[in-house]
Amino acid sequence: MVLGSDYALCKEMLDRIRFAQHKEFNSALIQLDRKTNEEIKALEAIGRKLYEYSLVARFFHNKPEKNMRLVLQNAPSVRHFFSGAWLEWFALMTGLRVLQDRGTVFSCARNLELSFPPNEKRELDVFFLLEDERPIYIECKSGEFRQELDKYVALRKRLALEARSFIVCVADLDVDQAKALGAMYDMTFSNTESLGPHLASLL
């Protein structure tokens, strides 16, 4: 939730960690010389939180050098978290908060696997079923997504979901891009900031 709630601040840290993982480096360095004091304090708190939850092995804030170093964990589950699972958890927790605040009866699942005949399988990132009859699906993308748009269009039709109930949450998307993509592909595009308000509008 911390990463998604202030994604603009966390983006560089996440990008550095993903890059280091991809290159098999054992640490990621975040330069702070262009950050405000408030941003540095917030990033330090996030770095310590990552360490507290064992998502990084060590966290160092080198004040004289104006940088922070995150020593990475190599566990597959941690690598998966930084490669995009964090956004799935953010979407799930955002949906849970909205639905519980409204007192809505619902079921939910993360990484739900569907089977289509004859041998096709499809994993759904985050799925909600409201009042036993109203489905909402959230596809989560923390990286490149454009090459998969045709696949999302086909899946929305296959699931017979309304455009506003088929949500593609892209961490790096801005508001204008989301509107343009939504109009072109007949589904809803959001980012971490707009996901909660959009879910609330469906209730």
pLDDT tens digits along 27-86: 999 999 999 999 999 999 999 999 999 999 999 999 999 999 999 999 999 999 999 999
Predicted pLDDT at 20? 95
Length of the chain: 203
Domain 83-201 CATH assignment equals 3.90.1640.10: no
Residue 71 has a pLDDT of: 97
The low-confidence residues of the chain, meaning pLDDT below 70, are none
| Residue whose C-alpha is closest to residue 20's, from 78, 89, 102, 87 | 78
What are the φ and ψ backbone dihedral angles of 130, each rounded to 5 degrees? -95, 135
Give the pair of three-digit tokens for residue 19: 């890059």
pTM score over 0.85: yes
Tell me: domain 2-74, CATH 3.30.1370.30, correct? yes
Q: Is the peptide bond before 118 cis (omega within 30 degrees of 0)?
A: yes
Q: What are residue 56's DSSP bridge partners?
A: 72
pLDDT of residue 63: 92
CATH 3.40.1350.10, the chain: domain bounds = 83-201
User: What pLDDT shows up at residue 138?
Assistant: 97
CATH 3.30.1370.30 segments of the chain:
2-74
Rounded distance, CA 2 to CA 52, Å? 13
- Neighbouring CB atoms inside 10 A of 55's CB total 21
